[in-house]
Amino acid sequence: MTGTNGGHYSSEPDDFTGLSHSNKPLPKVDVNSSSNGQRSVKIWLVILSGLLVSALAMALLGNTQKEVLESEVNVSLTGPASEDLEVTQGAAKNRVQEFPSCLKKIPPGVMEGRGLRSPRVSRGKAKGVSEKTNQLSYRRSRSPEFEWNEKQLAWQRTAFHFQPPQNWMNDPNGPLFYKGWYHIFYQYNPNAAVWGDIVWGHAVSRDLIKWLHLPAAMIADRWYDINGVWTGSATLLPDGQIIMLYSGSSNDSTQVQNLAYPADLSDPLLINWIKYPGNPILLPPPGIDPKDFRDPTTAWNTAGGKWRFAIGSKMNRTGISLVYETQDFKSFKLLDGVLHAVPATGMWECVDFYPVSMTEPNGMDTSVNGPHVKHVLKASLDEDRNDYYAIGRYDEEKGIWVPDNPENDVGIGLRYDYGKFYASKTFYDQEKRRRVLWGWITESDNEAADIRKGWASLQAIPRTVVYDQKTGTNLLQWPVEEVESLRTRSKNFINITVQAGSFLPLDVGSATELDIIAEFEIDLEALDKLSDFDEEYTCGTSSGANQRGALGPFGLLVLATDDFSEQTPVYFYITKGSDGNPRTFFCTDASRSSIADDVMDDISGSTVPVLRGEKFSLRILVDHSIIEAFAQGGRTGHHYGINRGMANKSGVKVMMDRNDLLHTLMMTGSST
């Protein structure tokens, strides 16, 4: 049948004839889904430029500061480009309360709560999905709604980040590379700029930058996904078949797992998809709440030739990842125990599980394992809406994963990103031998502004992910190399000197999209003599860029107005622990990013490893209202949607504060 939004479906099992499943399906309910004929969808992909951006160099140093700063700046700029592309569109209740056998092998005590985490209230949380909620994050929650004008709202739309032409988008789904095209599917509301009526949007690209929007791949037209076609993952089989596992919210809002596959594998755009007629293939197992069973991972192949995939869930407030095994995607077995469990982390959404090489700089196929391989386990925590990952070892025989450092376990340690980054998903790009990370980004405004804009949310710039061989404790995330293709011209600034307390403008011409790389070099001997101790400092509990120490803050102010009424500092701050070792923090201060009072204004960040002999380096991508920042080659990152009230008036300023140890500055940048 032809579903709403022009997606084409078939009830025929195609080459999956005879598929069976080990779980008895819920009673089928007749659901009348509307359909329409074919239509044409015209997509405009536009890279905007031409608005004025100025850059200034600033040093706010102590009264005793005597040193002069030297810097080199290389700024590349892009011109306008556009591309006009046209495409013709071709559960019943399961509430058994007995303790499930699959959880009997959880180590003693792991089900006990530890620590406190305040669950956030959300309209979407009760429905079991990620959703934009920011009212609890307002520092000025009772402030009147800001009166946005059309010019300000139009300026906020990005130029080179992925987002649909209109309406709501959230989690990335089933990314893959197939026959020369990158595919991204995503949670999409075709009817409004707020969460609801979720289907799978679909777009393709040759380079992960310029996108062609296609008809919806799957819509909510079956009883097992009538309340939402939720998050899923793609698995490419050795014989060329593509398996798409996804969660559906059934007619009674039970979360069930389903299978779909392309109708025509010869079509590189994969426009038409078939939902397996035996769906759902999996129901929540006994002891698992019907609304806590979602988001299957990409499957990996074991040494014995069987396939496994994980699904996120929870028991009480212990986050868990269940593992299913299949020989042929016709029947499925729930393995004993769990892949991993962490107390007091709540529901695990959008679980991701993949290998990283300890010796090679390339990514790895999801099925790779061996002595020089570690595995990353990631979970999106429904309670605080952040993505946490940990690095460890996967024991295939026992079916468990163990973190290298229990203090940095999933949900209590490292995060991909310390800004607004959630529901991420990776895929292996077999064309370039890299693992690519997608993540959903929300803006800082509210739903009322989204409705006026006609759109909400976007995807972060795809990032490559590798194991940090220098530290052995974290990943390195870096924007895909294709971003650099947006650069068209450059300016060089050499031997820049900045006197204490002065400003020096750097004219980079007109642009509203920037790619800036900066390096700060610290005198190591002076750093060793640092006497200030501050065991309590964190980005989130500090006063932001206003808090001054012996060594910090230093970094960049982006999207900054001439009068500083709007500014977003991205900066380093160094403290010294009682053990005598320095601790470096990488922070983003959004508390003064907008004159609007009804937006989120967090101060966030984390520590970042800086090895002896390394310079303090950062990279910032600015795309209208979006800021992405990376420190130390991608050891940590921040991603923010800045909803500014002073649109079209922005600049970049170098920030240093009471720091007589910083003696050189090298900065390169480009406008994209």
Q: Is 456 helix (H, G, I), strand (E, B) or coil?
A: strand
User: Which of 274, 333, 323, 284 has the alpha carbon at shortest distance from 300?
Assistant: 323
* Helices within 240-345 (DSSP H only): none
Q: DSSP string spanning 131-159?
A: ----GGG-TTTTSPPP---HHHHHHHS-S
Enter the tokens of residue 523. Answer: 């005198």
Contact between 20 and 278 (Cβ < 8 Å): yes
Q: Name the residue among 246, 272, 277, 274 with its Cα closest to residue 261.
A: 274
Assess contact for 626 and 650: CB atoms under 8 A. no
CA atoms within 13 Å, Cβ hemisphere of 235: 27
Closest CA to 207 of 471, 482, 532: 482
Give the CB-side neighbour count of residue 168, counting CA atoms within 13 A: 24
- Active-site residue 239, yes or no? no
C-alpha torsion 232→235→241→247, nearest 10 = -20
Q: Which parts of 141-223 are beta strand (E)?
A: 167-178, 181-189, 199-205, 211-218
CA distance 220 to 608: 43
The region that residue 599 occupies, defined by phi over 0 for left and psi between -120 and 50 for alpha, beta otherwise, is beta
**Measured distance CA(52)–CA(83) in Å, rounded:** 23
Q: How does DSSP classify residue 612? A: T
* Residue 526 Cα distances to 17, 66, 522, 529, 663, angstroms: 72, 14, 8, 5, 11
Residue 527 in 3-state DSSP?
helix
Which whole-number Å values give the CA distances from 11 to 14, 26, 85, 226, 275, in the listed order? Answer: 9, 18, 31, 16, 7
- Cα separations in angstroms, 401 against 77, 105, 392, 618: 46, 13, 7, 33
Residue 350 sits at the vertex; the CA angle it makes with 327 and 345, to the nearest 5 degrees, is: 115
Q: Which of these, 300, 186, 163, lies nearest to 235 by C-alpha position?
A: 300
The identity of residue 369, as a single letter, is N
The Cα-based distances of 463 to 426, 427, 456, 608 in angstroms read: 9, 11, 21, 18
CB atoms under 10 Å from CB of 172, counted, come to 26
User: Of these residues, 14, 15, 84, 171, which one is catalytic?
Assistant: 171
Active site residues: 171
